[in-house]
Amino acid sequence: MPLELHISLANLHNNLRFFRQITKNSAELSAVVKSNAYGLGITKIVPEMERFGVRSFFTATISEAVKVRSCSRKSEIFTLNGFDFLNAKTYKKFKITPVINNILEAQKFIDAFDQTHEVAIQLNTGMNRLGLNKQALFENLDLIKKLPMNLILSHLACADDISSDENINQRNLFNELCQVLPKVRQSFSASHGALLGTEFHFDMIRPGVGLYGGIKNSGLKGVIQIKVPVLQSFIINENMQVGYNFTYKATQKMTVATLAMGYADGLPRILSNNGKLFYGNIPCPIIGRVSMDLVTVDISNLPEIPQHLCVFSPEYEVEDFAKDCKTISHEVLVNFGERINRVFSG
């Protein structure tokens, strides 16, 4: 069998339903599908979300937006990384809505478009990454008001920390800045922000990682599983060594399996002698260095030589895997490589 990433569309639907329910029907549910829908595959995920009723999608870049348009004729598509004005015609041709992040982009948009092509604007409420800050907004209010905007958005820096005062501070500033702008839809929260409560929802929430099983929460379900084929198994004796630079030495006789997944597939090298794969609920420790295309694990505890092992288990989800990789779910999801076959199930 090939290396496979299995995606449960039923659990994706569960997660969409969860986010719709927590809005209490007072906010639109949009979806972030940048980085190829967090590695799951835009062309399958976007139509599935549309069937569920999602009407607005967020990408990072214009080329991703064009890909979304290729599988979604009617939806609104926003490019979070701004207005790539050298590609102005592409926005027009594919009916893509740029997110204006600064004054230069605003001016270029006005120069390039008539008033029929709408835009979103992003406000910088403290994260200092993208968007118009208070000063830039107030100094250029006449220009900004010329934009045919249909959405105002901002982004929380500390949404995953429910105790952070910064969330309140950013929200207060967002409210203050929206006062001087046209009364159009307002969007403030991605997945973690949406979980902070309805007072963070405004008119539209835009979850990403939570939809794809990257957040542990009683209402959200895991969406992906990776099945890793066993290529070979063998016995090694005490003192035999395994993998690059012989970083593992057996302390006793053991059974080792070599599997067809490596760091090129998103099993990071930091899991060398540290991570594990699963046979059901039974963990099989990674021994030695993770290679580019291969990983070796200790399967001495298993009742049989398996055909494949799994990356996740019911008790070991994307967020747990991310912790072992010393990162967050988002980086884990987008790193699962092109070589892995995506397999969708209902």
Cβ closest to its own copies, residue 146 vs residue 269? 269
Question: DSSP per residue over 295-329, as a string?
Answer: EEEE-TTSSS--SEEES-BTTB-HHHHHHHTTS-H
Minimum gap (Å) between residue 120 Cβ and its own copies: 15
What does the alpha-carbon distance between residue 5 and residue 19 come to, in Å, rounded to a whole number? 24
Quick one: which of 82, 74, 163, 171 has its CA closest to 127? 171
Q: Could you identify the residue written with the tokens 């250029």?
A: 140
Identity of residue 133: N
Backbone angles phi, psi at 173, to 5 degrees: -65, -40
From 93, 216, 244, 326, the catalytic residue: 244
Minimum gap (Å) between residue 24 Cβ and its own copies: 27
145 is catalytic: no
Cβ closest to its own copies, residue 25 vs residue 239? 239
Cβ contacts of residue 264 below 8 Å, gap of 6+?
292, 293, 337, 339
Minimum gap (Å) between residue 201 Cβ and its own copies: 20
Cβ closest to its own copies, residue 110 vs residue 136? 136
Identity of residue 265: D
212 is catalytic: no
Minimum gap (Å) between residue 126 Cβ and its own copies: 7
Instruction: Please report, for residues 21, 30, 105, the alpha-carbon distance to residue 33 in angstroms, rounded to integers and kept in the order given.
Output: 20, 10, 23
* Pairing assessment for the beta strands 204-205 and 295-298 based on DSSP bridges: unpaired
Cβ closest to its own copies, residue 37 vs residue 152? 37
Minimum gap (Å) between residue 32 Cβ and its own copies: 9
Tokens standing for 276?
A: 């594990």
Chain positions contacting its own copies, by CB under 8 A: 1-2, 34-36, 60-61, 63-64, 80-82, 84, 86, 101-102, 124, 126-130, 133, 136, 157-158, 160-161, 166, 231-232, 234, 236, 240-246, 256, 258, 260, 262-264, 268-270, 288, 291-294, 296, 326-328, 330-331, 334-335, 337-339
The DSSP H or E segment spanning 91 is: helix 88-93
Cβ closest to its own copies, residue 149 vs residue 230? 230
Do residues 267 and 295 make contact, with C-beta atoms less than 8 angstroms apart?
Answer: yes
Tokens standing for 76?
A: 């609104």
Cβ closest to its own copies, residue 50 vs residue 293? 293
Instruction: Please report, for residues 148, 181, 206, 341, the alpha-carbon distance to residue 186 in angstroms, rounded to integers and kept in the order given.
Output: 14, 11, 11, 38
Three-class DSSP category at 335: helix
Minimum gap (Å) between residue 336 Cβ and its own copies: 11
What does the alpha-carbon distance between residue 176 and residue 38 come to, in Å, rounded to a whole number? 33
| Catalytic site positions | 34, 244
